Amino acid sequence: MTKAAMKTYLDRSFSPTSAIPTLFPRTKKTNNMSIGIGIVGAGMISNFHAKAIADSTNGHLVGCYNRNTERAEEFVAKHGGRVFKTLEEMLADPEIGAVSVCTPSGAHAEPAIQAAEAGKHVMIEKPLEVTQERCDQIIAACEKAGVQLGVTFQSRFHESSRLMKKAVEEGRFGKITMGDAYVKWYRSQEYYDSGAWRGTWKLDGGGALMNQAIHSVDLLLWLMGDVSEVSAMASTMTHERIEVEDIVVATLKFKNGALGVIEATTTTYPGALKRIEIGGSEGSAILEEEDLTQWEFANETDEDEAIRKRMAGMTETGGGASDPSAIGHHGHTAVFNDFLDAITEGTSPQINGTEGRRSVALINVIYESARTGKTVQL
């Protein structure tokens, strides 16, 4: 995508019910009118949140808190803002209206709940948390405090994903028979050794499925609907010193009767773009990262050929297939714009706590099936 096309894409506003962006341009607000945001956690993903906030239409970065103050100082040297020595200090700052949680996955609940209790809106990097119970604690705290809760499943905001959602809602696939997700990525041993929390059940919540493939699980549920039955196998095949799986395969039965497969791994060098496939009696579509590599329907429309041309070659990065930092931040920007709009307009973010919980719940059922060797009914 060209820089001009990317700017046009990011300037569009998204309505909760639309399948593709509308063409109403946003107007950048001054900092006096925008919402101050504090980031908790200064790991790799915090950089993407900072860039997204900088590009957002009505938010600005106030500062960062990290338990290791040195890391926070490095963060603000790069992105601006100021260092908060404690979370309490950050939450006491009247300029901060929202907090972005970028701590390890299994440490999202505590700062999120504390922020909600302080009256701050909460954005959380995926996953919402690593268990349904901890997800529910966050959701309940935000509901009780009357603050907004958002989760960064940015793939839902890609135009190609929305085109697939629109085609599903319009019945263009006919009777949908299959829905599959494939995430065949590569992570080195050094990746897992780079942080003590990586590869642990407590703080990572799982391996290839919970950490890497959760975006695809979220998309699959968004497109196909809920799952009624799961059978899975998982293993740790090529990595050492981790508690979690580096490969998992699950077969699914959706509530609409369709069947599907989820394959996730961090063992396949050099890694490939994540892929979603939907097929039915009247059409098939394949999504690879942001590219639509197949878009075929029995009843073609005038727009279909234009979609095929426009959605080919949309992916500009490696999509995180082998390098977790090899992603763009435009998806995060769209998530933040939607979240900040929800705050100012008093609506719900498109990916709220309930939506963010869905993928965590399914992934934990997949893990249960893999542990017990049994098919699990949802």
What band does 32 get if pLDDT is binned at 50, 70 and 90? low
| Percentage, residues of the chain above pLDDT 90 | 87
Q: Which of 19-28, 247-256, 325-334 has the highest mean pLDDT?
A: 247-256
What pLDDT score does 13 carry? 33
What pLDDT score does 242 carry? 98
Rounded CA separation 365/148 (Å):
27
What band does 6 get if pLDDT is binned at 50, 70 and 90? very low
Report pLDDT digits (tens) over 321-356.
Answer: 887 877 789 999 999 999 999 999 999 999 999 999
**156-322+359-377 has which CATH code?**
3.30.360.10
* pLDDT above 60 (res 21): no
What band does 26 get if pLDDT is binned at 50, 70 and 90? very low
What pLDDT score does 211 carry? 96
* pLDDT above 60 (res 18): no
Average pLDDT taken over every residue of the chain: 91
Report pLDDT digits (tens) over 69-78.
Answer: 999 999 999 9
Report pLDDT digits (tens) over 128-169.
Answer: 999 999 999 999 999 999 999 999 999 999 999 999 999 999
| Percentage, residues of the chain above pLDDT 70 | 92
Report pLDDT digits (tens) over 162-215.
Answer: 999 999 999 999 999 999 999 999 999 999 999 999 999 999 999 999 999 999
* pTM of the shown model: 0.90
Q: Let me know: does 254 contact 225? Beta carbons within 8 Å.
A: yes
Rounded CA separation 105/125 (Å):
8
Q: Average pLDDT, stretch 305-332?
A: 86
**Residue 376 forms beta bridges with which residues?**
230
Report pLDDT digits (tens) over 88-118.
Answer: 999 999 999 999 999 999 999 999 999 999 9
* pLDDT above 60 (res 83): yes
Q: Which residue has the tokens 């949680």?
A: 101
What pLDDT score does 359 carry? 98
CA dihedral 195, 200, 206, 212 (to 10 degrees): 10
Q: Which residue has the tokens 């039965």?
A: 253
Fold annotation for 3-155+332-352: Rossmann fold (3.40.50)
- In the chain, what's the furthest Cα-to-Cα distance? 60
- Domains of the chain, by residue range, sit at 3-155+332-352, 156-322+359-377
What pLDDT score does 328 carry? 82
